[in-house]
Structure 1
Amino acid sequence: MIRIENLSKTFTLHNQGSAVIPVMTGANLSVDKGECVALTGVSGAGKSTLMRMIYGNYLAASGHIWVGETDVAAANPREILELRRHTLGYVSQFLRVVPRVPTLEVVAEPLLSVGTPRAEAIARAEELLARLNIPQRLWSLSPTTFSGGEQQRVNIARGFAHVYPAMLLDEPTASLDAVNRETVLCLVEEAKARGAAIVGIFHDEAARDRVCDRVVDVTGFAPAQAA
């Protein structure tokens, strides 16, 4: 479902004489349906960079990033937006939403954008918000007013609302209490059971051991001179 072939990435430092910094070269990775792969490596090794490349936020210098039938490395912006709408979900660490939009609408939006009937989308959003212990009195308010922990849980609810065939998870259990951590791990397990291919960053070793099938150290993707 997710297949990375001979992927390379460089950054150009325009404020430093346009110096080119190689950060990844010859990366190969495949993730099957129903499989969760954890990315590991020291800080700065390229975990987040690889995730952002898969999602299409960073351009690849060369190589391929297949998500289903779409090569993200060669896709145009319209194709990437379509991929994100239907196929590839991303649960980041931070919630970014339009101010003043009610929480219920924020969580339901991924479903509404793919044509899910409104009543069904709202019901799914209510289910997830309840499972993640967001008080019902907050559902009509904008999550931009919430605490950091509440925003994180809204972000998780939004990320799991649509049944994405592929998902990217960036520290989904970070800073969660035991009850909500368990809920998130159950959501990951449910996604795997329905066949989602998942790539994630899990610094929570117990969570990683529970839901991940393999661990890939991205340090092995570093250019020889930077390794």
Structure 2
Amino acid sequence: MIEITNLSKSFTLHNQGGAVIPVMQGAELSVGTGECVALTGASGAGKSTLMRMIYGNYLSATGRIMVGDIDVARAEPREILELRRRTLGYVSQFLRVVPRVPTVDVVADPLLTLGVPVEEARDRARALLARLNIPQGLWQLSPTTFSGGEQQRVNIARGFVHDYPALLLDEPTASLDATNRETVLCLIEEAKARGAAIIGIFHDEAARDRVCDRVIDVAVYTPGAQ
């Protein structure tokens, strides 16, 4: 489902005389349906950079990033937007939403974008919000006012509301209490069971051991780190 071949990335520091910093070289990764692969490596090794390239936020210097039949590295912006709508979900650590939109609609938005009837989408959103222990009294409020932990759970609900064939998870259990951590791990296991291909960053070693089938140390693709 996700196939990465000979992927490289560098950053140009225009405020430092145009210095070019290579951050990844020759990355290779394959993730099949129903499989979860963890990215590991020290801070700065390129875990988040790789995730952002897969999602289409960063351009690669070389290589291919196949998600289904779309090469993200060569795709047009409209193709990437369509891929994100239907195929590739991303649960980041930070909630970015339009202010004043009720939480239930923030979570339902991926389904509404696909044309799912409003009440059906909201019902699915409500079920996930309840499962993730977001108090019902908050559902009609904007999540911009929520605590960090509540915002993280809203992000998770939004990421799992649609059955994406591929998922990117950035520290999905960070800062969660034991009850909500267990819920998130169950959601990941359910996504795997329905065939989702998942790539995640998990600093929570116990969570990684439970849900991940393989571990890839991205440091091996960091120039000069070998």
TM-score of the two chains, using structure 2 as the length reference: 0.99
Corresponding residue number in structure 1 for 2:99? 99
CA contact (8 A) 2:37 2:213 kept: yes
Match of 1:162 in 2: 162
1:226 deviates by 4.5
Q: Distance in 2 between matches of 1:197 and 1:120?
A: 25
- Read off the aligned partner of 2:107 and give its amino acid letter: V
Shift of 1:120: 1.3
Aligned to 2:5: 5
Alpha-carbon shift at residue 15 of structure 1 (Å): 0.3
Letter in 1 for 2:59: L
AA partner of residue 96 (structure 2) = R
The number of residue pairs the alignment matches comes to 226
Shift >3 Å, 4+ stretches: none
Alpha carbons 1:169, 1:200 under 8 Å: kept: yes
Work out the CA distance in 2 between the residues paired with 1:170 and 1:196. Answer: 16
Partner AA of 2:55 in structure 1: Y
The question of whether the paired residues in 2 share the 8 Å contact of 1:23 and 1:226 is answered with: no
What corresponds to 2:181 in structure 1?
181
Task: Find the aligned partners of 1:26 and 1:47 in 2 and give their Cα distance.
Answer: 14
* Alignment partners' CA distance in 2, 1:226 and 1:179: 38
1:130 partner SS: helix
Q: How does 1:60-209 map to 2 (within 5 A)?
A: 60-209=60-209
Task: Report the identity percentage.
Answer: 80
Q: Secondary structure at the match of 2:82?
A: helix
Q: Which residue of 1 aligns with 2:23?
A: 23
Partner Cα distance (1:20, 1:160) in 2: 38
SS at 1:199 equivalent: strand
Deviation at 1:76, TM superposition (A): 1.1
Task: Give the letter for the 2:187 counterpart.
Answer: L
Cα separation, 2, equivalents of 1:135 and 1:35: 32
Distance, in Å, in 1 between the alignment partners of 2:225 and 2:47 is 15
Q: CA RMSD in A?
A: 0.6
What is the one-letter code of the residue matched to 2:93? Q
Deviations 1:112-143 (CA, angstroms, capped at 9, x unpaired): 10111212111100000000000000000000
Consecutive unaligned residues in structure 2, runs of 5 or more: none
Segments of structure 1 that go 5 or more residues without pairing to the other structure are none
Deviation at 1:79, TM superposition (A): 0.7
Secondary structure at the aligned position of 1:175 is classed as: coil
Give the residue type in structure 2 aligned to 1:57. N
Q: Which amino acid aligns with 1:166?
A: A
The alignment's TM-score, normalised by the length of structure 1, stands at: 0.98
For 1:97 and 1:114, locate their aligned partners in 2 and report how far apart those are by CA, in whole Å: 18
- Equivalent AA in structure 1 for residue 199 of structure 2: V
Say whether the 8 Å CA contact 2:219–2:225 is kept in structure 1.
Answer: no
Distance, in Å, in 2 between the alignment partners of 1:100 and 1:117 is 22
Name the structure 2 match of 1:47.
47
Q: Which amino acid aligns with 2:15?
A: N
Deviations 1:4-60, CA, capped at 9 Å, x for gaps:
000000000000011111111111000000000000001100000000000000000
